[in-house]
Structure 1
Amino acid sequence: MYNILLINPSKAFYKKDVDGAINAKHLNFGILSIASLFPQSITIYDCQWKDNEVIKCEISKIIKEKRTELVGISLISAYSEKCAFYIAQVIHNDFPEVNIIYGGKDHAPYIAKDLLDLYHAKAVIKTEGELFFNNLLKNDRRIHDCPGVIYKDINGKIIETDDEPNYIDIPSYDHSLYPNHLDYVPSIEISRGCNKECLFCTNNKSIQRQKKTDDIIREIEILKSTYGHEFCAYFQTPHFLLSKKELLKIIGYRNKKDRFTWRTQTSVNYLSEEHIKLLYAAGARAIDVGFESASLSMLQRMEKTKSPTEYLHQMKVALSIAADVGLRLKLNILLFAGETPETLLETANFLKDNLLSFHSFSAYPVMIYPGPRSEFFVSKIKSEFGGETYALPGSKSIQAVNLSPLINYEKALKIALLLGKSYQSSDMYLSQRRIGYLPHGYSLDSKNLPLEKLPFYSSESERTQAQETLQNILEGMK
């Protein structure tokens, strides 16, 4: 039987400064999912909030005590590369007999050559990790004989084995397997895959499949026994699509005194009046919405919707209904290649008019991550959208985007921050952030955070100044 260590590396930097400032720990549900299937073979180690010497000592101790034969490093994004590569070097130096593999299907496969050439990878897993470990542990296959792996043969040639045509059912998590699990927001994975194909998205495309509602309810009961009855979970999914029938089933299970609540993410089109009311009755208290822009031309450019006018109307109605119901919506806003003062103003005005001092948003400029359509996306940015890309310091895997000759990446970052400081208060932003993003008992006070990095205003004078600065920037580009 294999003795396996799965590691969640810490982030060296963040897409948004506010995430680094808040610095909350996030459970790696990918490695928890694998461990939940094979608890006798797998140990989890999480690096968050630990310095390198502590990480080195603790990993070395686990490898010695558990007689670890295989280490899997979860590399789900470029933000964790620095820590991941440090860990790989330590293991390679101190335990050369231990094999190192990398997983994280939306990132690791796209940098597989570097992982194999430079960072001591025995193999890179390009599909779902549960499938790989099922073949390794249950079907007793060798690493390089498993479907869906990338490796180098004895001649140095990179080989990719065929993907497995089948899927494993979405596992239920055993949170007790995660070190210090009460320090993290508990999660229930309700679906995988996304049927949409937004131009900027780097998700490894797969057909959406969903967990049965009875299984979701069973997991809620297990979480109550672990975390108590008053907590907020995150329903993990690229795109929440539970039907009316399924929501009604959760509502029927959830009695009126039930204090269990949850958060998830979905698209604008899902947020009908009926769905909003059912979501709240089922325990949803905050929803992340992939809205992206209030500019008709930008929405078309993103390939976000084929009916942008209807799309904006539905978002406006959803914000109003959700505010009446008590369901907070947090809109994701993406500053896209080809933005102009006019398109940015369209989005700004929509936010000003429709957040109703209740909802919130998060704005940031588009970036390029390795993915199935990234090369195509880069070519369109340069040839059609009037933008440019360049490698971002911190990882050669990430490219920043100059949105246009007038809006470089740094200016786009400033505009994104000013949008927040102009149109949402600290209460609007922090109230939703506490729901399903931060573990129970985590103290979040804006007074202890660096105000210059926060996407909200803390006073009317700060709000006024931000709006004036934003207006001056947009006017200066005309």
Structure 2
Amino acid sequence: MPRSPAIQFVSAGLSQPKKRDHVLARRQLYLNYGALTLASQLNLNGHGVHLRHGEHEDPDTFAERLFADGRLPSAWPLMVSMPSFYALSWTQAFCRAVKRRDPKANIVIGGRWVTGPDPAWLHGLIPDADVVVPGFGEPRIWGILGLPSPQGTGDGEAPPAFGLHHRLVDGFERFQPSIETSRGCGMGCAFCEERGIPLSRLRDPLRLAELLAETVAEYGNGEIHPYFQSSFFLPNPRWATELQRTIRDRDLAVPWRCETRVDGLKPETVAALAASGLKVIDLGLETASPTQVRAMRKARDPERYLRAASQLLEACAANGVWVKVNVLLYAGETAETLAESQAWLDQHAHAIKGVSVGPVVAFGPPGLAGPFLRDLAAHGARPVDEGSAASTGVTQLHLSPRIDQAEAERLSLELSRRYMDADAYFDLKSFSYYPRGYTRGDFDRDVADCDAERLPFRVAPYSGATPCQPA
């Protein structure tokens, strides 16, 4: 069988969804913009490249399709990107399937959050991989492929100068696009992988507008909802005003989404951002309990933190920006701390489009997860499975003596349903994560096929139940 001259990237799929396994969760698409950055970099330098996402497809079937389509075998190493530890079992099966068909395949595993902590550990779990590459891929990809590194190759600490070439993605029309705006965070939250990584500067507003225009053209001027990728989107008023002016001058009426902290984005910047197209903010509140704010190391002054959150929510509501609030049930959680968060959310429900609630999880092999697990234990949490860090890189937790894993899941679903109905859930998911073209009719049919007790939104009218009381 002849070997393809193109470089094949694969974004590892999931054997089952991260949180809850139902048909709606399996509809979601996550563009692997890290892998696409590398593919775009190679394509800009004259190399043929493809990127295919594993999604929730069976890994053996997925591998067979790559061979049937002529993408494999390849004259180049097969580049497999693991976006999370949840992708481990899928990646193991996929690599085995590739090696069965092509024993000479050279499989390279990347994905900085998964490969960086302990490459030897990961290699031991994926023996069919030939190389495990830690850290950022941009400065390393050339050596991996045996190519000379072009001038201007970045170190990975900030977004590259070029934008993403979405057409390199198989079926790119199904995905909402991404535009990377900054990297890092450095705010020190106990649970965050980027707590010690400094925040890079935001892209220049003019360059961001240019990339937005290029992305619109890539999609043939069809409706798109780009995600401005940044773990901590932190524009100041001057930057926001310049972006508003630049987008207005270019007539770029494109709604977009971003993620930020509640105490980062200032209320006075929201109006300019909304005028620039900002429609959805994923807001990392995590908790409204002062005790848990301190336990998470979200802020030194919980009252100031929550006051900033209130002001930002009001500014978003005044400017028509949807807010999806992230809530994290943390180690040491009690009925009292949950009641504090619920009372705060009740007070601000008018400004909240939806919520995403889930219990804390420890990621990584023992060397990485160990210190975090000890910190969680000091607050009363304990692992569900002591060996899961070594075997999977994902450690589920009993949050406290009163709230075990099952109870934490029940509380998460109940709290989410308190603030989010089917309309809000569909609006938020279809904006960024459901396939473009996935309609409300499609959604309603899928909801009918789901167990309503496993869904994080209200299908029936809200009953007024109080979720913060452990069963």
Q: TM-score, normalised by structure 2?
A: 0.87
- Deviation of 1:66 after TM superposition, in Å, equals 6.4
Deviations 1:343-402 (A, max 9, x none): 0000111111212064221110001001785321111122x2111013398962111111
- Deviation of 1:258 after TM superposition, in Å, equals 4.2
- Deviation of 1:72 after TM superposition, in Å, equals 1.4
Structure 1 residues 439 and 214 mapped into 2: Cα distance closer, same or farther (>3 Å)?
Answer: farther
What is the 5 A alignment of 1:400-419? 400-419=396-415
- Deviation of 1:218 after TM superposition, in Å, equals 1.2
2:190 corresponds to which residue? 199
- Deviation of 1:454 after TM superposition, in Å, equals 1.8
How far apart, CA to CA, are the structure 2 residues paired with 1:427 and 1:32? 32
Tell me, yes or no, if the aligned pair for 2:236 and 2:266 is still in contact at 8 Å.
Answer: no
How far apart, CA to CA, are the structure 1 residues paired with 2:5 and 2:158? 22
Deviations 1:421-474 (A, max 9, x none): 2233333333233323334322243453222222222333x433xx15x25x43
1:233 corresponds to which residue? 226
- Deviation of 1:3 after TM superposition, in Å, equals 4.8
The counterpart of 1:99, out of the listed 99, 106, 110, is 106
Three-state SS of the structure 2 residue aligned to 1:128 is: coil
Tell me, yes or no, if the aligned pair for 2:234 and 2:264 is still in contact at 8 Å.
Answer: yes
Three-state SS of the structure 2 residue aligned to 1:208 is: coil
Three-state SS of the structure 1 residue aligned to 2:57 is: coil
How far apart, CA to CA, are the structure 2 residues paired with 1:349 and 1:316? 13
1:42 corresponds to which residue? 49
1:148 corresponds to which residue? none
The counterpart of 1:51, out of the listed 52, 55, 58, is 58
What is the 5 A alignment of 1:16-415? 16-17=19-20, 21-22=24-25, 23-39=27-43, 40-61=47-68, 67-119=74-126, 120-137=128-145, 140=148, 169-203=160-194, 205-209=196-200, 210-227=202-219, 228=221, 230-255=223-248, 258-356=252-350, 358-370=352-364, 374-382=369-377, 384-391=378-385, 396-415=392-411
Three-state SS of the structure 2 residue aligned to 1:129 is: coil
Q: List alignment gaps of at least 5 residues for structure 2.
A: none
The counterpart of 2:18, out of the listed 10, 15, 18, is 15
Tell me, yes or no, if the aligned pair for 2:186 and 2:194 is still in contact at 8 Å.
Answer: no
Three-state SS of the structure 1 residue aligned to 2:138 is: helix
Tell me, yes or no, if the aligned pair for 1:4 and 1:41 is still in contact at 8 Å.
Answer: yes
Tell me, yes or no, if the aligned pair for 1:194 and 1:207 is still in contact at 8 Å.
Answer: yes
Tell me the amino acid that sits aligned with residue 282 of structure 1.
S
Identity %: 23
How far apart, CA to CA, are the structure 2 residues paired with 1:259 and 1:166? 30
How far apart, CA to CA, are the structure 1 residues paired with 2:246 and 2:40? 25
How many corresponding residue pairs? Answer: 448
Tell me, yes or no, if the aligned pair for 2:8 and 2:79 is still in contact at 8 Å.
Answer: yes
Q: TM-score, normalised by structure 1?
A: 0.86
Tell me, yes or no, if the aligned pair for 2:36 and 2:166 is still in contact at 8 Å.
Answer: yes
How far apart, CA to CA, are the structure 1 residues paired with 2:437 and 2:54? 21
Deviations 1:258-297 (A, max 9, x none): 4311001001112322122122111100000111000001
- Deviation of 1:170 after TM superposition, in Å, equals 4.9
Three-state SS of the structure 2 residue aligned to 1:407 is: coil
- Deviation of 1:34 after TM superposition, in Å, equals 0.6
- Deviation of 1:166 after TM superposition, in Å, equals 7.8
- Report the aligned-residue RMSD: 2.8
Deviates most, 255-264 or 90-99: 255-264
Tell me, yes or no, if the aligned pair for 2:313 and 2:351 is still in contact at 8 Å.
Answer: no
- Deviation of 1:105 after TM superposition, in Å, equals 0.5
Tell me, yes or no, if the aligned pair for 1:233 and 1:262 is still in contact at 8 Å.
Answer: yes
- Deviation of 1:62 after TM superposition, in Å, equals 5.5
Three-state SS of the structure 2 residue aligned to 1:269 is: coil
How far apart, CA to CA, are the structure 2 residues paired with 1:459 and 1:295? 29
Structure 1 residues 136 and 454 mapped into 2: Cα distance closer, same or farther (>3 Å)?
Answer: same
Deviations 1:191-240 (A, max 9, x none): 11112221011248533223332221111111121221532111111111
Deviations 1:114-169 (A, max 9, x none): 4323422222111111111133458548xxxxxxxxxxxxxxxxxxxxx9798773
Q: List alignment gaps of at least 5 residues for structure 1.
A: 142-162
Deviates most, 118-127 or 393-402: 393-402
Structure 1 residues 325 and 357 mapped into 2: Cα distance closer, same or farther (>3 Å)?
Answer: closer
Tell me, yes or no, if the aligned pair for 2:324 and 2:355 is still in contact at 8 Å.
Answer: yes
1:463 corresponds to which residue? 463
Tell me the amino acid that sits aligned with residue 174 of structure 2.
D
How far apart, CA to CA, are the structure 1 residues paired with 2:256 and 2:277? 6
Structure 1 residues 463 and 16 mapped into 2: Cα distance closer, same or farther (>3 Å)?
Answer: farther
Tell me, yes or no, if the aligned pair for 1:130 and 1:168 is still in contact at 8 Å.
Answer: no
Deviates most, 331-340 or 197-206: 197-206
Deviations 1:65-90 (A, max 9, x none): 66333011111212212221112112
How far apart, CA to CA, are the structure 2 residues paired with 1:104 and 1:71? 14
Structure 1 residues 362 and 20 mapped into 2: Cα distance closer, same or farther (>3 Å)?
Answer: farther
Tell me, yes or no, if the aligned pair for 1:5 and 1:68 is still in contact at 8 Å.
Answer: no
Tell me, yes or no, if the aligned pair for 1:3 and 1:41 is still in contact at 8 Å.
Answer: yes
How far apart, CA to CA, are the structure 2 residues paired with 1:415 and 1:64? 45
Tell me the amino acid that sits aligned with residue 89 of structure 1.
R
Structure 1 residues 373 and 67 mapped into 2: Cα distance closer, same or farther (>3 Å)?
Answer: closer
Tell me, yes or no, if the aligned pair for 1:229 and 1:259 is still in contact at 8 Å.
Answer: no
How far apart, CA to CA, are the structure 2 residues paired with 1:125 and 1:62? 27
Tell me, yes or no, if the aligned pair for 1:101 and 1:124 is still in contact at 8 Å.
Answer: yes
Tell me, yes or no, if the aligned pair for 2:15 and 2:58 is still in contact at 8 Å.
Answer: no
- Deviation of 1:177 after TM superposition, in Å, equals 0.9
How far apart, CA to CA, are the structure 2 residues paired with 1:405 and 1:44? 46
Structure 1 residues 367 and 118 mapped into 2: Cα distance closer, same or farther (>3 Å)?
Answer: closer
Structure 1 residues 417 and 201 mapped into 2: Cα distance closer, same or farther (>3 Å)?
Answer: same
